[in-house]
Amino acid sequence: MNPHRRPILIDTDTASDDAVALIMALRSSRVEVKAITTVAGNVRVEQATRNALFTVELCGAEVPVFSGAAKPLEGELQTADWFHGQDGLGDHGYAPSVHATASGDAVDAIVAAVQSTPGIEIITLGPLTNLALALERCPTIAHSISRCVVMGGAPCCEGNVTPAAEFNIWVDPEAARAVFASGAPIEMIGWQLARFDAVLNEREIQEVLAFETPLAEFAIRANSTAATAYLAQTGETGISLPDPVAMAVLLDPKLKLEVSPHYVAIECKSDLTRGMTVVDRLGVAADSRNSVVWSDVTQRDQKVEICWKLDVPGWKAELIAALRPENRQSFAT
DSSP conformation class of 113: H
Distance CA 294, CA 80 (A): 31
- The answer as to whether 197 is a domain residue is yes
pLDDT band for position 330 (cuts 50, 70, 90) = very low
- The answer as to whether 332 is a domain residue is no
- The answer as to whether 292 is a domain residue is yes
Residue 168 has pLDDT above 70, yes or no: yes
Query: What is the structure's pLDDT at 2?
Result: 62
- The answer as to whether 333 is a domain residue is no
Q: What is the mean pLDDT of the chain?
A: 93
User: Percent of the chain scored above 70 by pLDDT?
Assistant: 92
User: In three state form, how does the secondary structure of 135-202 look?
Assistant: HHHCHHHHHHCCEEEEECCCCCCCCCCCCCCCHHHHHCHHHHHHHHCCCCCEEEECHHHHCHHHCECH
- The answer as to whether 330 is a domain residue is no
- The answer as to whether 55 is a domain residue is yes
**What distance, in Å, lies between the first and last C-alpha atoms of the chain?**
6
Region 122-146: what's the mean pLDDT?
A: 98
pLDDT band for position 221 (cuts 50, 70, 90) = very high
Give the number of domains in the chain: 1
- The answer as to whether 329 is a domain residue is no
Residue 293 has pLDDT above 90, yes or no: no
Query: What is the structure's pLDDT at 99?
Result: 82
| CATH number of the CATH domain containing 282 | 3.90.245.10
Region 254-281: what's the mean pLDDT?
A: 95
pLDDT band for position 288 (cuts 50, 70, 90) = low
Region 281-285: what's the mean pLDDT?
A: 84
Residue 289 has pLDDT above 50, yes or no: yes
| Range of the structural domain that residue 227 is part of | 6-323
Query: What is the structure's pLDDT at 284?
Result: 81
- A 10 A CB-CB count for 179 gives 27
How far is residue 214 CA from its own chain's centroid? 23
Region 253-263: what's the mean pLDDT?
A: 96
Question: Model-level pTM greater than 0.85?
Answer: yes
Strands (E) across 4-160 are located at 6-12, 31-38, 65-67, 121-124, 147-151
42: nearest Cα among 73, 6, 83: 83
Residue 107 Cα distances to 104, 187, 280, 319, angstroms: 9, 21, 31, 29
